[in-house]
Amino acid sequence: MEYSFRQIEKKWQAEWKKKETYRVSNTSDKPKCYVLDMFPYPSGAGLHVGHPLGYIASDIYSRFKRLKGYNVLHPMGYDAFGLPAEQYAIEHGVHPAVSTDANINNFRRQLDNIGFCFDWSREIRTSDPSYYKWTQWIFLQLFESYYDRREQKAKPIAGLVEIFKTEGNSHHPCPGDASIRFDAAEWNGFTEARQQEILMNYRLAYCGYGEVNWCEALGTVLANDEVVNGVSERGGFPVVKKKLRQWYLRITEYADRLLEGLERIEFSEAMKEMQTNWIGKSYGAEIDFAVRSERNAVSKLRVYTTRPDTIFGVDFMVVAPELEIVEDLKSAAQAAAVDEYLAYVKSRSERERMAEKKITGVFTGSYAINPFDGKEIPIWISEYVLAGYGTGAIMAVPCGDERDHRFAQHFNIPITNILGDQYDGVEANPTKDAILQNSGFLNGIPMREATNIVLEKLEQMGIGNRKVNYRMRDAAFSRQRYWGEPFPIQWKNGVAVPLPETELPLELPHVESYKPGPEGEGPLANIPDWVARELETNTMPGYAGSSWYFLRYMDPQNDQAFCSREASDYWGQVDLYIGGTEHAVGHLLYSRMWTKVLYDLGHIGFDEPFKKLVNQGMIQGSSRFVYRINGTNTFVSKGLLDAEGTYQGKTVDKLHVDVNIVDGYNLDVNAFRTWKPEYENAEFLLEDGAYICGSEVEKMSKSKFNTVNPDHIVEKFGADTFRMYEMFLGPVEISKPWDTKGIEGVHRFLKKFWRLYVDETKGLQLSSEEPTPEELKVLHKTIRKIEEDTERFSFNTAVSGFMICVNELNDLKCRKRAILLPLLVILAPYAPHITEELWQMAGETGSVLDASYPVFEEKYVKESSKAYPVAINGKTRTEITIDLNATQEEVEAIVLANETVQKWLDGKAPKKVVYVKNRMINVVL
RNA sequence: GCCCGGGUGGUGGAACUGGUAGACACGCAGGACUUAAAAUCCUGUUCGCCGAAAAAGCGAGUACGGGUUCGAUUCCCGUCCCGGGCACCA
């Protein structure tokens, strides 16, 4: 019997499906383990070999945990709402629901082919009304909540209203607009509309006007993390700043808890740092400077600084051009220049501003007064100061800040040196370790001490406060698109009114046209019925559905709650979450926030969703190139090219060729001729009878013809080989190129394993003899290695471990039942099909999946251990057999008594004997 | 520019807390079986030296230069290179 992998794999995949082998129950005596993959967006392109990498790793880990006696939740679903489906609909006239469905079916077929142990009875789709009913429900929770800063948690807004009635907002400063202050009497006197307006400034999901990233080509606004280098992440279209009414998530209120939570979870350092940088917490102070202006319309200028200690080095102030205060600062003499500059700033797109960082600015004609020495400081405006951060105004200290320094030099502003010889007059020095000079009462004081002295003084004078700032902004939460969750909100006389829970889900209506509605509204604004009901016409962004999906898997059919408390208490946090790094500041931050809100409101019992995150690397494509002599249809083999990359002086075109018609580097010339019509009559200049292609490692993509379809690999080598090979390629976290050639090695291993036990004609050969100590050693060594490697995600070395094991058993001609059965169990997570088949052939009942993991016994490995004493000065090594149960003293005695060691010592006593790992003993001469 | 990672044979990569560097596999070379091919198996494969060859031996070697240590791919300092993230956040 040959190893006919396709037959075996099809058989077992059907069997698992029939028996619902992977169905998981929410009630079990076993400890739980929740292993989750980032669910895919079902694109039309299908899977390439890079996609399943993380799924394979999580599948192996899930199966391993199941064998170790855990109740394992390992679900899968689809992030089905999103822009690409809608773009496709606009271009091809296919409804997104239809194309998404087709894509999902294809994904599913490809996934099934690889033999994953997903519990498909728990499948979810974010575009399914029974799912987004709860996305809408959670949105309403956010809408109906505010963040209590004193208790550091979200609470129902109804409670806040009660507080306002009795004490106003003196203990609850308004996060949306700090200038809103009122007492109880004032609150009770407000109109309903005014009260609602104020409450909107407290809600965790709120609607407000703000500068947003507007992408004309996509016809929607985008969140900050969806804009990269001034263009849209999807499609690379230009993005401009626009003031629009938008929904937001008040994620800034959670900044501190999002930071603090990072300390309690296992994310990679790089990932934690990315999130930390995104949140961007900085400790500083706000300082009010008195202002002397022509119009006397402004009394003070408030700036934000992290370096109050450098206050004597302030040579100018800079205000963001967008600030309203600018109007009042400009003097008659400077008015024209200021207006001209403001017009210039307005004309610049975000993109231009980022691309060319020109030093620009203009003097307003007003001055600020240094509170300590009365110095007059000119106030400038410049685009390098951002309106949205801090107070939108800074105190510039050129000798200590690079940007201020460049600005001062450019505009010939005199620079005050407060750093003594730490400042060279050429470059700013941002040090915090200098002794202050030229600094009035701070002279001679180290900077770090000065900070506090200045702050205390400013506080006494009532013109300064300590202030923490965050770089993170509230997240834009509405999209002017069709293919997303509708907001369960009605607008009545300008007031947002939530739909009652009984009317959820608010289903997405069918539309004929995906064209934007009037005035930047979404396609829903084109539906008369929708508009008549005064429903919100925006839809939620892609990250809405993915911010909580891990909870739905726990209780996917529940129509009374997003997830029963019982289910979420049982499954708890995701123990292992696997996915790419591209969601570092998007999905991973939003889902962490939603989890915290649901926790605060008492709906779940944990406030971090993911206990451990593993980021899988990308599998890159290994592209192949052919070289065509320019203007001809003749292709030159790579080795025949000149050093300059030309052929006999003629230029050649380097063209991507489909990797699937190249064997290693050898082009299949006949397949090439039929690949594209224009190559039908291609001529080849061969070397040694072959056409050799060039190669390069690039991102895997259709346009580079370097994608490899897992279907083809599975067809040719089998799913078990494919799974093991993807792991064997290297550590899961590392990006590495795909190399189809290398798969032979893993395939040979499985064939060898099969042949070791299955005779071509006689079938399975198993003896029931007792294993020898040598055989037991091989087995237990392998059990230990695989268990350790699997637990620490070192799947590549685990695969090597299996290979070594089979090679050794092959040498021993060991075909014993007592060795095979435990081996099948430890191999099952990696190669589920072949092990299931052999398990059945061996006459074992049930599935190998339900076997119990063999226990590693040290005695088998220890028995024949050896010691290797090394004379460290002589570098020589000798082998001594020692029972490693011996104590260190006994080992030393045996080693020193050894003949070779005696020779090294030559009668002298050793300086010392060092007993180290790997059975090495060093004898220092 | 700043902040993280990382640099090991022809290639992917091993070496877990400092302890026989290069496991395992690909590729390559040679060989066996075969009319032949496929499949399978065996041997060799870091570099250099010594040798007709084999066995054995010697020397160097984990980007480069230094340091700590009996001992460094691993720890420390400096330089170079590659990958990723952030980029006027005061």
Q: Would you say residue A156 has pLDDT above 90?
A: yes
User: In angstroms, how far is the first alpha carbon of chain A from the final one?
Assistant: 60
**Beta carbons within 8 Å of A409's beta carbon, 6+ residues apart:** A398
Using C1' positions and the CA of A911, the closest nucleotide is B70
Helix axes A83-92 and A96-114, enclosed angle (nearest 10):
120
Residue A435's beta-bridge partner residues? A446
In three-state form (DSSP H/G/I as H, E/B as E, the rest C), the secondary structure along A420-453 is: HHHCCCCCCCCCCCCECCCCHHHCCCEHHHHHHH
**Beta carbons within 8 Å of A531's beta carbon, 6+ residues apart:** A525, A537
User: Which pLDDT does position A864 carry in this prediction?
Assistant: 43
d(CA A249, CA A141): 12
**Residues A158-214 pLDDT 10s:** 999 999 999 999 999 999 888 899 999 999 999 999 999 999 999 999 998 877 778
Q: Higher confidence at residue A315 or residue A698? A: A315
d(CA A557, CA A23): 14
Q: Would you tell me how many other CB atoms lie within 10 Å of the CB of residue A412?
A: 6
Task: Identify the three-state secondary structure at position A287.
Answer: strand
Q: How many angstroms separate the CA of A736 from the C1' of B62?
A: 20
pTM as predicted: 0.90
If you average pLDDT over every residue of chain A, what do you get? 88
Question: Alpha helix (H) ranges present in A29-128?
Answer: 52-67, 83-92, 96-114
Q: How many angstroms separate the CA of A620 from the C1' of B7?
A: 19
d(CA A740, CA A722): 10
Q: Higher confidence at residue A588 or residue A892? A: A588
Question: pLDDT band at residue A364, thresholds of 50, 70 and 90?
Answer: very high
Tokens of A810: 């092959």
Q: Would you say residue A60 has pLDDT above 90?
A: yes
Using C1' positions and the CA of A472, the closest nucleotide is B89
Helix axes A743-757 and A832-841, enclosed angle (nearest 10):
10
Q: Would you say residue A862 has pLDDT above 80?
A: no
Could you say which nucleotides of strand B lie within 7 A of any protein CB atom? Answer: 3-5, 11-20, 23-28, 39-41, 70-71, 83-86, 88-90
Tokens of A216: 């004309």
Q: Would you tell me how many other CB atoms lie within 10 Å of the CB of residue A673?
A: 15
The full DSSP string for A131-150 is: HHHHHHHHHHHHHTEEEETT
User: Which pLDDT does position A621 carry in this prediction?
Assistant: 84
What DSSP character marks residue A295?
S
Which residue reads 């990250």 in tokens? Answer: A543
**Range with the poorest average pLDDT among A83-92, A229-238, A650-659, A675-684:** A229-238
**Residues A643-677 pLDDT 10s:** 677 888 888 888 888 888 887 777 888 888 888 88
User: Which pLDDT does position A737 carry in this prediction?
Assistant: 85
User: Which pLDDT does position A873 carry in this prediction?
Assistant: 52
The full DSSP string for A350-387 is: HHHHHH------EEEEEEEE-TTT--EEEEEE-TTS-T
Question: pLDDT band at residue A871, thresholds of 50, 70 and 90?
Answer: low
d(CA A422, CA A411): 23
Q: How many angstroms separate the CA of A788 from the C1' of B16?
A: 9
Which residue reads 């030559």 in tokens? Answer: A906
Sequence letter at residue A215: C
| A246 φ/ψ sector (left φ>0, alpha ψ -120 to 50, else beta) | beta
**Beta carbons within 8 Å of A775's beta carbon, 6+ residues apart:** A809, A812, A814, A816, A819
Q: How many angstroms separate the CA of A872 from the C1' of B72?
A: 15
User: Which pLDDT does position A884 carry in this prediction?
Assistant: 52
Contact A629, A603 (CB under 8 A): no
User: Which pLDDT does position A920 carry in this prediction?
Assistant: 58
Burial class of A33 by CB neighbour count within 10 A (0 to 12, 13 to 18, 19+): buried
Which residue reads 């501003």 in tokens? Answer: A353
**Beta carbons within 8 Å of A432's beta carbon, 6+ residues apart:** A447, A448
> Using CA atoms in the order A85, A86, A92, A94, what is the torsion angle rounded to 10 degrees?
80
Task: Identify the three-state secondary structure at position A339.
Answer: helix
d(CA A924, CA A892): 12
Task: Identify the three-state secondary structure at position A693.
Answer: coil
Tokens of A61: 């880990």
**Can you say whether the dihedral through the CA atoms of A530, A96, A129, A553 is positive or negative?**
negative
Query: Strands A316-319, A376-381: parallel, antiparallel or unpaired by DSSP?
Result: parallel
Query: Strands A281-292, A300-305: parallel, antiparallel or unpaired by DSSP?
Result: antiparallel
**Range with the poorest average pLDDT among A304-313, A474-483, A702-711, A864-873:** A864-873
Q: Would you say residue A912 has pLDDT above 70?
A: no
**Range with the poorest average pLDDT among A54-68, A825-839, A842-856:** A842-856
Contact A847, A21 (CB under 8 A): yes
d(CA A693, CA A663): 10
Percent of chain A with pLDDT over 70: 92
Q: Would you say residue A141 has pLDDT above 90?
A: yes
Q: Phi/psi of residue A516, each to 5°?
A: -60, 155
Using C1' positions and the CA of A390, the closest nucleotide is B89
**Residues A525-584 pLDDT 10s:** 889 999 999 999 999 998 999 999 999 999 999 999 999 999 999 999 999 999 988 887
Q: How many angstroms separate the CA of A86 from the C1' of B53?
A: 73
d(CA A446, CA A451): 9
Q: How many angstroms separate the CA of A716 from the C1' of B71?
A: 49
Which CA-bearing residue is nearest the C1' of B14?
Answer: A797
Q: Would you say residue A678 has pLDDT above 90?
A: no
Q: Which helix (H) or strand (E) holds A492?
A: strand A489-492
**Residues A409-457 pLDDT 10s:** 999 999 999 988 888 888 888 888 888 999 989 999 988 889 999 999 9
> Using CA atoms in the order A694, A695, A698, A702, what is the torsion angle rounded to 10 degrees?
70
d(CA A559, CA A131): 9
Contacts of A332-340 with C-beta under 8 Å, sequence gap 24+, read: A332/A294, A332/A365, A333/A365, A334/A362, A334/A363, A334/A364, A334/A365, A335/A365, A337/A362, A337/A363, A338/A362, A338/A364, A338/A365, A338/A381
Helix axes A192-200 and A157-167, enclosed angle (nearest 10):
120
Q: How many angstroms separate the CA of A706 from the C1' of B37?
A: 30
User: Which pLDDT does position A216 carry in this prediction?
Assistant: 77
Q: Higher confidence at residue A485 or residue A51? A: A485
Q: What's the rounded mean pLDDT across residues A894-906?
A: 70
User: Which pLDDT does position A830 carry in this prediction?
Assistant: 96
Q: Would you say residue A473 has pLDDT above 60?
A: yes
Q: Would you say residue A917 has pLDDT above 60?
A: no
Nearest partner of A550 among A487, A611, A615, A488, judged by Cα: A611
**Range with the poorest average pLDDT among A136-140, A214-218, A838-842:** A214-218
Q: Would you say residue A897 has pLDDT above 90?
A: no
Contact A754, A802 (CB under 8 A): no
d(CA A855, CA A16): 26
Q: What's the rounded mean pLDDT across residues A240-263?
A: 88
d(CA A871, CA A905): 9
Nearest partner of A383 among A344, A339, A328, A331, judged by Cα: A344
**Beta carbons within 8 Å of A430's beta carbon, 6+ residues apart:** A400, A401, A402
User: Which pLDDT does position A570 carry in this prediction?
Assistant: 96
Rg over CA atoms, chain A: 35
Task: Identify the three-state secondary structure at position A548.
Answer: coil
User: Which pLDDT does position A172 carry in this prediction?
Assistant: 94
Q: How many angstroms separate the CA of A208 from the C1' of B35?
A: 85
User: Which pLDDT does position A877 carry in this prediction?
Assistant: 58
d(CA A303, CA A604): 42
Q: What's the rounded mean pLDDT across residues A269-293?
A: 90
Nearest partner of A716 among A704, A706, A708, judged by Cα: A708
Tokens of A617: 């690397």
Q: Would you say residue A106 has pLDDT above 70?
A: yes
**Range with the poorest average pLDDT among A40-54, A656-670, A788-802, A820-834:** A656-670
> Using CA atoms in the order A417, A423, A429, A430, what is the torsion angle rounded to 10 degrees?
-50
Q: What's the rounded mean pLDDT across residues A588-610?
A: 95
**Range with the poorest average pLDDT among A181-190, A234-243, A421-430, A838-847:** A234-243
d(CA A347, CA A57): 51
Extended beta strands in A293-328, E state: 300-305, 316-319
Q: How many angstroms separate the CA of A691 from the C1' of B9?
A: 27
Task: Please tell me which of A18-32, A695-709, A876-890 the model is most confident about, judged by mean pLDDT.
Answer: A18-32
**Residues A376-405 pLDDT 10s:** 999 999 988 988 888 999 999 999 898 899
Contact A398, A408 (CB under 8 A): yes
User: Which pLDDT does position A245 carry in this prediction?
Assistant: 84
Using C1' positions and the CA of A729, the closest nucleotide is B12
Q: How many angstroms separate the CA of A695 from the C1' of B10?
A: 15
Tokens of A588: 């991973």
Q: What's the rounded mean pLDDT across residues A217-226?
A: 77
User: Which pLDDT does position A522 carry in this prediction?
Assistant: 83
Q: Which helix (H) or strand (E) holds A921?
A: strand A920-924
The full DSSP string for A703-715 is: GGT----HHHHHH
